[in-house]
Structure 1
């Protein structure tokens, strides 16, 4: 969406907002009102809270701030302020019921589209320029859609979400790893119109040469760690990770269980054998780091991950996406809740990076070893609570998006973060390693 005219920007923003709302509607219409107001896990909000929160944020930023309109429901501001109420406490709030929440988000959206028609997108303030605020709200809604999808995974009962299977593997045998050359590359972005504050600014970063796995770690590979006693041997775990594993009796990825001599999983209400060729998902940072140690490797740092994803050695430039600068399509990556599961490794050869690394976008969020911090020259915009308040060693960075991430909410520079104990998110990983002296030459 680089260098669009105001007319094309309006069309692009309208399509992005409409697609997000269609997904929010599908996720909330899939269950009855009783399920909408129920808290399916203390880790998550009731689905009806997410829906009204989406509307509340849209009202604050698009209707009031960009549009300068009178507030619709100022009484809802505190109820749907994510920083004032922990998820576990939200069911006790005077939430809008399903019918009122749906009516509220419809009314807000009607006014937002009216604002979009009148906003000066080629100039104006920073929220209006390039339709940034509309992109921010699109990404916010899609992020909550992925959160609601995670709530559906935690929900008990018969399956209510359905999607076709992802494509089968479309490559032959791939090398297990590739070497990423050492040297400087441009990390982050200054030019991407809808990039969020923590992705900015573009800056030169030096990374020593290293090796990274060509694909995410598969269930089959992870089973070798599990069946080899990886969850019972503290040698592979950090002190913090081992203590958390022991306290919570974690013995496998979340949603897995052993039946006889086979491992099974529950996936959106479907009980099925664990497929060996898909990337492992629903593992914490601690589990990912333990596997990497067991394998004699480590997790990549965030700069290493981004260089593997974006660096083109033929030109020396950083691409927008692993495959180039074009927006993602169904040939590039498993995104947008299209398949409700990770695709087998090797399913998206068109999405490989210039260095030959596959499935860096979509399928599973990938844990890195890096803490979440701002880049040199970081400036909070448009509010500190989007990312700055999370900077510090408490959070680890994840990159690349998952099968539940929409294309509007992912790019080669996009940064996600979470606590290292999180397992309900759609997170997996790939390993990296330092080069040997012989490999370094």
Structure 2
């Protein structure tokens, strides 16, 4: 498939998913289901607004369609909690707007040589917009999880899991490459490629499961400050946390979860999800381990010791397929541990891509030689602060919006995202 056809296909895939997520009653679209999230209708029109700004106006040099709404859909002008009170486009108007923008974007794509400015080279601007729409699709999926009421979405279950030969693998000391300078659609915070040198360490072969995390809960982990940072335990007390978000226990002691409107027993063999950085850190300390650094996570995911190089993905350089990873809202839940043997890294680490975003111990900082592109507000303005890195994507992340170098970040208290973790430990003396 040539570049132009690939871009058309990925734009269509993203728009189909946006349509599925917003093909619901208008009252659901305009409601604010949580102060953490925008109304779904805001996300839909914001997708169109960003596409118009970058593809129609900038790359295409066309006249603005709706310049009067630019401010309404600028994510930096209005907090998520305040967007419900704005004079937003109605669902009908939003659908018509994004359709008109897409028609013009495809016309620009058909006529553009896909070379020229850095923004245009290799179709970067179009790839950026594909990723932007898919990222908002995952945000809208998280909003669906936060809404109250019966299920509005459906999907088949993931493939079955299998037992893995070991709970952790040894990663030898040495140099590896982190980040990329060659991935054409990589975002600014993934760049540039640089060499890192790490001591030896052990890392879990799979994310921590619900059954494993339940043991922490049942052992009184949420009541014992020994396992928590001072800030983390204070948050537990302030919020009254007793288990991952969306979990509840019946009178018989069985744990249930609410998943997109369905209440079901917590499946023990799936990666635990909807846990904050603080919860992940506390569990790791309870089992005598720690969270991996971002560099450790990426080395485990990408480093091929036999070839002496870093791959694009754990399994190699080819794009993800359904055999490699649980991505793209295909199953609406994480897959059981061991479900994707074809996605293993050369070191034998599995499910690094898809299923759940994985918290790392590292703060959100730029790589050496970082350069903001094409705008500061994507990455640079967030560096520092209390943000923590997440890696690998979730079942709600599309294949177009994740790779071995992709970096995500959020506040350490966040639990509405599809976040889990795996543990690591030092290998001193090995």
Quick check: TM above 0.5? yes
Q: Is the counterpart of residue 274 in structure 1 residue 266 in structure 2?
A: yes
Structure 2 contact 200–428 (Cα < 8 Å) conserved: no
Distance 1:273 1:168 in 2: 17
Query: Secondary structure in 2 aligned to 1:394?
Result: coil
Alignment match of 2:22 (pick from 28, 34, 49): 28
Distance 2:191 2:163 in 1: 38
Q: Is the counterpart of residue 179 in structure 1 residue 170 in structure 2?
A: yes
Distance 2:172 2:426 in 1: 12
Alignment match of 1:210 (pick from 187, 201, 212): 201
Return the offset for 1:119.
1.3
Return the offset for 1:308.
0.2
Match of 1:434 in 2: 426
Structure 1 contact 174–214 (Cα < 8 Å) conserved: no
Match of 1:327 in 2: 319
Match of 2:379 in 1: 387
Q: Is the counterpart of residue 153 in structure 1 residue 176 in structure 2?
A: no
Match of 1:87 in 2: 80
Alignment match of 1:304 (pick from 296, 305, 315): 296
**CA deviation vs aligned residue, 1:92-125 (integer Å, no higher than 9, x gap):** 100000000000000000000001011121x311
- 1:228-247 matches, within 5 Å, as 228-247=219-238
Query: Secondary structure in 2 aligned to 1:397?
Result: strand
Match of 1:19 in 2: 13
Distance 2:155 2:289 in 1: 35
Return the offset for 1:127.
1.1
Return the offset for 1:172.
3.7
Structure 2 contact 388–409 (Cα < 8 Å) conserved: yes
How many pairs are equivalent?
429
Distance 1:38 1:436 in 2: 53
Query: Secondary structure in 2 aligned to 1:15?
Result: helix
Structure 1 contact 308–355 (Cα < 8 Å) conserved: yes
Q: Is the counterpart of residue 74 in structure 1 residue 67 in structure 2?
A: yes
Distance 1:421 1:106 in 2: 37
CA RMSD in angstroms comes to 0.7
Unaligned runs of 5+ in 2: none
Distance 1:393 1:235 in 2: 25
Structure 2 contact 174–199 (Cα < 8 Å) conserved: yes
Alignment match of 1:253 (pick from 244, 265, 276): 244
Give the TM-score normalised by structure 2. Answer: 0.99
Return the offset for 1:156.
0.8
Alignment match of 2:189 (pick from 184, 193, 198): 198
Q: Is the counterpart of residue 48 in structure 1 residue 41 in structure 2?
A: yes
Match of 1:317 in 2: 309
Runs (4+) off by over 6 Å? none
**CA deviation vs aligned residue, 1:262-321 (integer Å, no higher than 9, x gap):** 000000000000000000000000000000000100000000000000000101100000
**CA deviation vs aligned residue, 1:405-434 (integer Å, no higher than 9, x gap):** 000000000000000000000000000000
Query: Secondary structure in 1 aligned to 2:404?
Result: coil
